[in-house]
């Protein structure tokens, strides 16, 4: 199976599974029925076509004319939910949009709201209690890992600046900046006196 076909199949199955699990997303998809949006992803230099019916079909090749064409980085997609942002992003050359702006907004909202509910999925296999315990435990563990990483980063920063003295500390940088400012003002005063002396000659 070619790589493009594998990628589009993966995106299609994932999106349709997520939408099917959320009645609100199913209603939103129904309102987009018959629409076609083409998205050029700058990071991958790939163009994907999304065709909306009872489900979403994702194609790597499409011969027809889409209702909306977007060219953007994936990180910009959530910002398209607000119409005011679209104009700003177009002016900043972060988005190229041709066609139905409202369809672009609906698409952005649908994509950003398609988030997996891991606890719900796990509960189908293990039951509610086990799923809740596993997901809560995983969240707690992730939080502890983040805290530990932040402490390690802080500790490493202290070692680099204080023990090994490979980089100046924040106080040393501030003190250096103060000294530079003082030196600049002193130089300005000397220059002013020198100019006064030249005028008297």
**pLDDT tens across the length of the chain (201 residues):** 467 788 888 888 888 888 888 888 899 999 999 999 999 988 888 899 999 999 999 998 888 899 999 898 878 877 877 767 777 888 888 888 899 888 888 888 888 787 765 556 556 666 677 656 766 766 677 677 777 777 877 777 777 666 666 667 677 778 888 888 888 888 888 888 877 877 776
Where does a domain end: 62, 92, 116? 116
**Same structural domain, 157 and 59:** no
35 within 8 A of 90, measured Cβ to Cβ: no
Residues 93 and 96: their CA atoms lie apart, in Å, by 7
The DSSP element (H or E) to which 38 belongs, if any, is strand 36-41
**Same structural domain, 73 and 158:** no
**Same structural domain, 8 and 91:** yes
Q: For residue 86, what is the domain's CATH number?
A: 3.30.1050.10
**Same structural domain, 67 and 15:** yes
Residues 78 and 109: their CA atoms lie apart, in Å, by 7
**Same structural domain, 143 and 186:** yes
**Same structural domain, 56 and 126:** no
**Same structural domain, 36 and 124:** no
Where does a domain end: 94, 116, 138? 116
**Same structural domain, 107 and 13:** yes
Residues 134 and 84: their CA atoms lie apart, in Å, by 41
Domains: count for the chain: 2
160 within 8 A of 152, measured Cβ to Cβ: no
Q: Could you tell me the pTM of the whole model?
A: 0.58
Beta strand 68-72 pairing with 36-41: parallel
**Same structural domain, 88 and 161:** no
Cα dihedral 46, 52, 57, 61 sign: negative
Where does a domain end: 70, 86, 116? 116
**Same structural domain, 17 and 95:** yes
**Same structural domain, 23 and 101:** yes
Question: What is the widest separation between alpha-carbon atoms in the chain?
Answer: 96
Cβ contacts of 188 within 8 Å, gap of 6 or more: none
What range defines the domain where residue 81 resides?
3-116
**Same structural domain, 63 and 158:** no
Cβ contacts of 176 within 8 Å, gap of 6 or more: 168
């Amino acid at each position: 199976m070619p790589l493009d076909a594998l990628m589009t199949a993966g995106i299609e199955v994932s999106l349709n599974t997520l939408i099917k699990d959320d009645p609100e997303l199913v209603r939103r998809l129904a309102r987009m029925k018959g629409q076609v949006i083409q998205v050029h992803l700058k990071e991958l230099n790939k163009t994907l076509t999304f065709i909306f019916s009872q489900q979403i079909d994702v194609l790597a090749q499409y011969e027809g004319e889409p209702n909306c064409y977007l060219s953007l980085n994936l990180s910009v997609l959530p910002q398209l939910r607000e119409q005011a942002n679209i104009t700003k992003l177009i002016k900043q050359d972060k988005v190229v949009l041709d066609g139905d702006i409202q369809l672009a907004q609906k698409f952005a909202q649908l994509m950003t709201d398609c988030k997996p509910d891991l606890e719900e999925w796990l509960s189908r296999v293990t039951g509610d209690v086990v799923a809740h315990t596993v997901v809560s435990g995983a969240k707690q563990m992730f939080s502890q890992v983040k805290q530990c990483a932040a402490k390690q980063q802080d500790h490493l920063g202290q070692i680099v600046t204080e023990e090994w003295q490979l980089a100046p500390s924040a106080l040393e940088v501030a003190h250096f900046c103060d000294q530079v400012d003082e030196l600049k003002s002193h130089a300005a005063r000397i220059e002013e006196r020198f100019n006064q002396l030249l005028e008297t000659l």
